[in-house]
Structure 1
Amino acid sequence: MIKLLIADNHPIVRKGLELLFSSSSNIQIMASVDNGEAVIDFIKKVPVDIILTEIDLPKLNGLTLLRILKNNYPDIKTIIFSGQPEEVYAINAIKAGASGYISKTVNIISINEAILKVNEGGIYLSDAINQQINLGKKVNKSGSYYKKLSTREAEVLRLLCVGKKNKEVAKELNVNEKTISTYKARLMRKLKVTNLVDLVNQAKVTES
């Protein structure tokens, strides 16, 4: 039996996944939590095999959570289940330690397939992303910009896009505020914008 922990800040998503797996013969939901810190608190007490988590989590975002899990809980596999665009975040999520990335637009069968594949030691990505990797092609011009970002840069961009200030981002990522300013400058250079408003707007346009 695969022991699954769900992390999502939307109650309806958590409840939907709980109902989905309630009659499963090979997947058991151990709990569902609504923030990143709660994930860490739970796995300290209860063993799980796989964590199915959103990127945009309160208190500890998904990419930061991946880094902590990779360093401190290497036996636990993580799948990102997100509404954020996979062409922007999927590759960086895998680099950060995820074993899979599922868009919230997929069907129920795909969620189950992803969990089973990851449990067997595989990496789960959509056919579109796999094709992009294999052919070395970009999905679109904006996507090509995002492929140039490091995992940490993508992490900083995600936090800036949800309205966090430099000081808040620095605190969440456990770095100093000057470092965040440096990352912000790199992001603006790589994404060819000159200010924070344009940086956030370009990210949102790409994600729409």
Structure 2
Amino acid sequence: MIKIIIADDHPIVRDGLRSALDSIENFHVIGVAVNGVEALNLIKSDPPDLLLTDISMPEMNGIDLTREVTKKYPDVKVIILSMHENDAYINNALQAGAHGYLLKDSEKAELNNAIERVVAGEKYFSKSVSQILVNGLYNKPGENGEDQQDVTGISKRELEVLEMIALGLSNKEIAGKLFLSIRTVDAHRYNIMQKLKVKNTAEMIKTAVKMKLIEF
């Protein structure tokens, strides 16, 4: 059972999400909050597996809430569900520690899929969010204005896996397309992260784009 807390200051959205998620057999909404402060109190009393939060809320917004949750409750996964569709909000959410970012017009099936994948340890961004993220980083210079050098040692197969990860495919989906085991895909993902010297999927995609290993 996946325990979920929802934070959103709009009653219709909040109640609609609770009803929709509680109708899923493996999901259980254990609390709802109207702002970040209230959400933190709920998490303190009964930590969920996942926090689903809006960005624009009174008292404490979703970005600050995500940052606090990441710091104090690292085992709690966070998905941002927002109407904001620009790279500033998306990048701020990622820097705060969000594990996923979806737009509020996402289909119920996509939200369900995102929750399951994030709780399983993956990152999830809706397709439009992934595109915005990549477009905002593409062709940026490296640190101190210097161009990033090409990374050596990444195999052709690892590049294929990297491209599919950037497109938002899950390990299971990648395994199916490349006729590999999920364990092999996991190993490729780990090796790529080691070679790029990154700690998570979001950093891996950003670095790969900066180094022009992948293009969109």
Please indicate, yes or no, whether the TM-score normalized by the shorter chain is above 0.5. Answer: yes
Which protein is bigger by CA-based radius of gyration? Answer: 2
| SS across alignment from 1:112 | helix
Q: Distance in 2 between matches of 1:86 and 1:28?
A: 31
Inter-CA distance 33–132: structure 2 relative to 1 (3 Å threshold): closer
Q: Distance in 1 between matches of 2:83 and 2:132?
A: 19
Q: Is the 8 A contact 1:7 1:32 kept in 2?
A: yes
Q: CA RMSD in A?
A: 1.9
Inter-CA distance 15–90: structure 2 relative to 1 (3 Å threshold): same
Q: Is the 8 A contact 1:4 1:29 kept in 2?
A: yes
Q: Is the 8 A contact 1:86 1:103 kept in 2?
A: no
| SS across alignment from 1:28 | strand
**1:90 and 2:90 are equivalent in the alignment:** yes
| SS across alignment from 1:105 | coil
For residue 60 of structure 2, what is the aligned residue in structure 1?
60
| Structure 1 position 129, deviation (Å) | 3.3
| SS across alignment from 2:91 | helix
State how many pairs are aligned: 139
**1:132-143 alignment runs, 5 A limit:** 132-133=132-133, 136-137=137-138
Question: Could you give the per-residue CA deviations for residues 156-208 of structure 1, whole angstroms, max 9, x where no partner exists?
Answer: xxxxxxxxxxxxxxxxxxxxxxxxxxxxxxxxxxxxxxxxxxxxxxxxxxxxx
| SS across alignment from 2:29 | strand
The residue identity in structure 2 corresponding to 1:10 is: H
Inter-CA distance 46–104: structure 2 relative to 1 (3 Å threshold): same
For residue 114 of structure 2, what is the aligned residue in structure 1?
114
Q: Distance in 1 between matches of 2:133 and 2:83?
A: 21
| Structure 1 position 130, deviation (Å) | 2.7
Question: Could you give the per-residue CA deviations for residues 66-111 of structure 1, whole angstroms, max 9, x where no partner exists?
Answer: 1111111111011100111143312221121000001001111111
Q: Which runs of 5+ in 2 are unaligned?
A: 141-216
| Structure 1 position 131, deviation (Å) | 4.0
Inter-CA distance 133–24: structure 2 relative to 1 (3 Å threshold): same
Q: Distance in 1 between matches of 2:89 and 2:126?
A: 13
TM-score under structure 2 length normalisation = 0.60
The residue identity in structure 2 corresponding to 1:125 is: F
Q: Distance in 2 between matches of 1:40 and 1:29?
A: 15
| Structure 1 position 26, deviation (Å) | 0.9
Q: Distance in 2 between matches of 1:129 and 1:21?
A: 22
Q: Which runs of 5+ in 1 are unaligned?
A: 139-143, 145-208
| SS across alignment from 1:5 | strand
Q: Percent identity?
A: 38
Q: Distance in 1 between matches of 2:101 and 2:62?
A: 12
TM-score under structure 1 length normalisation = 0.62
Inter-CA distance 86–27: structure 2 relative to 1 (3 Å threshold): farther
| SS across alignment from 1:88 | helix
Q: Distance in 1 between matches of 2:51 and 2:62?
A: 11
| Structure 1 position 132, deviation (Å) | 4.9
For residue 173 of structure 2, what is the aligned residue in structure 1?
none
Inter-CA distance 3–86: structure 2 relative to 1 (3 Å threshold): farther
